[in-house]
Amino acid sequence: MRYAEPIAIIGAGGHAKVVIATLQAAGLPVGAAFDDDPSRWGSEILGIPIRGAVSRLPEEGYSQAVIAIGDNATRRDLSRQLTGIKWATVIHPHASVHPSARIGAGTVVFAGAVIQPEAQVGEHVIINTGATVDHECTIHDYAHIAPGAHLAGRVEVGEGAFIGIGSSIIQCRKVGKWSVIGAGAAVIHDISDHVTVVGVPARVIKQDTAARHVR
Ligand SMILES: CC(C)(COP(=O)(O)OP(=O)(O)OC[C@H]1O[C@@H](n2cnc3c(N)ncnc32)[C@H](O)[C@@H]1OP(=O)(O)O)[C@@H](O)C(=O)NCCC(=O)NCCS
């Protein structure tokens, strides 16, 4: 997709740095950043000015943006609040995305990620550095596939789920919505909604997880 007008960055934390770097690498026009933390206003992130609160976006004249915030529920909430914004899809030139894969609006795909044929990736998803999503996987909206996580063929990841760094999911398994897969876990069974699992093989350690404050 081509973007003639600058793309505003929503969020100015560590994740936003990687989103900005990805926009720059892709040759996309980077606009100002917006963040609700007043201590950041007036400063810069990677040379990009942080203009003020997210609510200022329309009055600053931006109609396109990307939500550069790692927390899955926050991306969901902001994408629903900010109606009228066109959400940019950002793919690093050193990611490999098969032409038959579908990538939704607002989704970011970082360097080294691989998305194989007929994968379906929803909106406001993060496919982080070096993560792999194999053939015919389905990743629902607001999910985050952390760096170096590997999904075998036909895996389904539910809305808002967090797949931790370096974890693996064998083929045809489902991860329920808003669940958390811990760093380094090996998922060999389906995982239900709203749980946290860790280990090899992955086992439930917490129920009613909201995939919010994943550290
Ligand atoms: C799974 C995770 C979310 C759990 O965090 P938490 O809810 O704060 O859980 P705690 O730290 O209280 O740990 C609970 C127990 O699970 C264990 N545990 C936590 N994470 C684990 C992991 N990844 N693998 C194995 N065991 C783990 C802890 O040792 C602890 O065991 P204990 O009760 O015997 O002491 C977190 O540890 C994790 O793995 N996060 C992934 C971070 C990531 O991928 N970051 C990338 C960002 S881009």
Q: Which of 7-21, 111-125, 175-189, 197-211 bottoms out in mean pLDDT, i.e. has the lowest?
A: 197-211
Sequence-separated (6 or more) residues with CB below 8 Å from residue 122? 104, 107, 139, 140, 141, 142, 143, 159
Label residue 208 by pLDDT band (50, 70, 90).
confident
Nearest CA to ligand 1 atom 30: 205
What does the pLDDT average to over 111-133? Answer: 98
Does residue 20 have a pLDDT over 60? yes
Distance from C-alpha of 177 to C-alpha of 90, rounded to nearest angstrom? 24
What dihedral angle (degrees, nearest 10) is formed by the CA atoms of 92, 121, 119, 167? Answer: 80
For 26-52, the DSSP string reads TTPPEEEEE-S-GGGTT-EETTEEEEE
**Domain extent listing, the chain:** 7-87, 90-202
pLDDT in tens, 60-76: 999 999 999 999 999 99
pTM above 0.85, yes or no: yes
Does residue 96 have a pLDDT over 70? yes
Could you tell me which residues are beta bridge partners of residue 151? 133, 169
What is the fold, at CATH topology level, of the domain defined by 90-202?
UDP N-Acetylglucosamine Acyltransferase; domain 1 (2.160.10)
pLDDT on residue 4: 78
Of 135, 140, 144, 189, which is the active-site residue?
135
What is the fold, at CATH topology level, of the domain defined by 7-87?
Rossmann fold (3.40.50)
Is the distance from the beta carbon of residue 26 to the nearest atom of ligand 1 less than 6 Å? Answer: no
Q: Which of 69-78, 91-100, 200-209 bottoms out in mean pLDDT, i.e. has the lowest?
A: 200-209
213 flagged as catalytic = no
Q: What is the CA radius of gyration of the chain?
A: 17
pLDDT on residue 1: 56
